[in-house]
């Protein structure tokens, strides 16, 4: 028998081991997770739909003998299809959309033995670095309910940090795994573009910016989740470099010193809070103590041009969603179902031409080439994850009706994360620091295309050297 309190002492791999060794049953673990969600979610608003009865039925029917058999899991409610469960994308416009099938991603999660307990909160269309959709309300930071859990995977990060589940599904189109991981004291890896299928079985998300993985406490959980979900999907228009060993095996592989570039200034001159700068510098010193070489330098990438490309590509892709909805629902005023900034973003796309869109794509491709050249001389780029510690609730609101001001405000908070979405390269946020008031502060590490194994291995070494949890 496992108590609710004991449940929190284990990561996903640890729980799976207990179940496999028959020290506890899968049902006991699932019931512990349900109890945690029922007791804690009302104060935090991380979980917006529950599948408790379905989970109990799945356990009773018998679970696949995968590496995570019996482990409770939550799925972010953004572009991810679960059969029979509304896929709202955090929007009133899609609250009646109910997929008829599981996506390939969900099928892979189920095949690993994970037990899906519900869906987590996300801002409308993932268009905020905080999570507070009009449809479901704000998700609060477990460390301080007056602060944001981050976005757009804020519900997932909050649920994991609050001990509801050991790990949860997350997506990332500009930092949406790493931002809430930083705010909630978790490990969050954005994998290489196309490493993991998107949750709606489409070959591309937001001009190639989108990636899918998870937020976790432990590095090994992230590695095994990547093992069970990675692999191409028919029709993929990108391909991630093949791996010669499992990600879980790679974290235990000895490796020699790596060349780490430390960069603490904003790509386009954004102001960085001293607490965040210091977190990155302290992480660099820890890396040096482990025998790695650290040099202060930055990639030669035009941050202002990249911000301009984000404007073009994001507004065009949001306009595509809003316009398709308008055509399919001609009797509905889009302003009554979409949030003000979403409507403003859609309309802002009219400022740009097809040539502007092509130039935006070319800009991101140039950044990818520049970053690749940088990684020929350096193995890892170490930065703060964010420009500031967790923001107060409501600091960045989708009630704004000026897209340009909104985007500038948002990008000023995330000067380091979108680069890895634009280029497709992997990056992770590690919870290596805290503010004087105890709020978590993340540190980002990025590497070259296909180098998740390197990031996981180095993250594991840092996790052992300066543990941020007791679930190892």
Q: Looking at the annotation, which residues are catalytic?
A: 76, 152, 176
327 Cβ neighbours under 8 A, 6+ residues apart: none
Strands 47-50 and 440-447: unpaired
Q: 129 with 341: CB under 8 angstroms?
A: no
| 114 sits in which H/E element | none
Residues in the chain: 472
Query: What is the radius of gyration, based on Cα positions, of the chain?
Result: 21
Three-class secondary structure of residue 117 per DSSP: strand
Q: 139 with 45: CB under 8 angstroms?
A: yes
Q: What is the dihedral of CA 220, 221, 223, 229, to 10 degrees?
A: 160
**Of 105, 75, 73, 82, which Cα lies nearest the Cα of 197?**
105
237 Cβ neighbours under 8 A, 6+ residues apart: 203, 204
* 356, β-bridge pairs: none
Cα distances from 313 to residues 209, 361, 422, in angstroms, run 9, 8, 10
**In what order do the strands lie in the sheet containing 427-434?**
47-50, 115-120, 72-76, 167-172, 211-216, 187-190, 427-434, 440-447, 380-384, 259-262, 293-296
The sign of the dihedral angle between the CA atoms of 366, 368, 371, 373 is: negative
Residue 118: count other Cβ atoms within 10 Å of its Cβ: 29
d(CA 333, CA 225): 41
d(CA 383, CA 429): 9
d(CA 400, CA 276): 27
Instruction: Return the ∠ at Cα 335 (arms to 331 and 337), rounded to 5°.
Output: 75
Three-class secondary structure of residue 383 per DSSP: strand
* 200, β-bridge pairs: none
């Amino acid at each position: 028998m496992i108590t609710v309190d004991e449940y929190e002492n284990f990561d996903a791999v640890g729980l799976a081991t207990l179940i496999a060794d028959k020290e506890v049953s899968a049902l006991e673990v699932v019931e512990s997770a349900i109890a945690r969600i029922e007791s804690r979610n009302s104060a935090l608003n991380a979980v917006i739909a529950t599948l408790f009865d379905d989970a109990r039925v799945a356990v009773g029917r018998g679970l696949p003998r995968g590496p995570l058999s019996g482990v409770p899991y939550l799925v972010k409610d953004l572009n991810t299809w679960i059969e029979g469960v509304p896929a709202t994308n955090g929007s009133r416009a899609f609250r009646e959309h109910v997929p008829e099938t599981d996506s390939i991603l969900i099928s892979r999660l189920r095949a690993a033995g994970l037990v899906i307990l519900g869906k987590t909160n996300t801002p409308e269309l993932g268009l905020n670095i905080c999570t507070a959709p009009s449809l479901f309300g704000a998700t609060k930071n477990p460390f301080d309910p007056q602060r944001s859990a981050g976005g757009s995977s804020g519900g997932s990060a909050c649920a994991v940090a609050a001990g509801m589940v050991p790990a949860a599904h997350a997506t990332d189109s500009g930092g949406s795994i790493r931002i809430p991981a930083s705010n909630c004291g978790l490990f969050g890896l954005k994998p290489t573009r196309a490493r993991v299928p998107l949750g709606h079985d489409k070959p591309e998300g937001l001009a190639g910016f989108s990636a899918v993985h998870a937020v976790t406490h432990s590095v090994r959980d992230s590695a095994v989740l990547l093992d069970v979900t990675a692999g191409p999907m028919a029709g993929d228009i990108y391909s991630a470099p093949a791996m010669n060993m499992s990600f879980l095996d790679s974290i235990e592989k000895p490796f020699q010193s790596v060349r780490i570039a430390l960069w603490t200034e904003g790509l386009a001159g954004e102001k960085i809070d001293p607490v965040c700068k210091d977190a990155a510098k302290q992480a660099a010193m820890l890396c040096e103590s482990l025998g790695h070489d650290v040099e202060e330098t930055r990639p030669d990438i035009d941050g202002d041009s990249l911000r301009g490309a984000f404007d073009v590509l994001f507004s065009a892709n949001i306009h595509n969603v809003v316009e398709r909805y308008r055509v399919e629902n001609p009797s509905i005023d889009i302003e009554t179902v979409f949030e003000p900034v979403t409507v403003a973003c859609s309309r802002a796309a009219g400022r740009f031409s097809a040539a502007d869109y092509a130039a935006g794509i070319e800009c991101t491709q140039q950044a990818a080439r520049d970053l690749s050249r940088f990684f020929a001389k350096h193995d890892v780029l170490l930065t703060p994850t964010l420009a500031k510690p967790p923001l107060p609730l409501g600091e960045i609101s989708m009630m704004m009706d000026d897209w340009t001001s909104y985007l500038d405000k948002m990008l000023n908070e995330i000067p380091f994360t979108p680069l890895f979405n634009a280029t497709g390269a992997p990056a992770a946020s590690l919870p290596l620091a805290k503010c004087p008031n105890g709020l978590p502060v993340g540190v980002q590490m990025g590497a070259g295309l296909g180098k998740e194994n390197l990031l996981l291995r180095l993250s594991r070494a840092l996790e052992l050297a300066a543990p941020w949890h007791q679930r190892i």
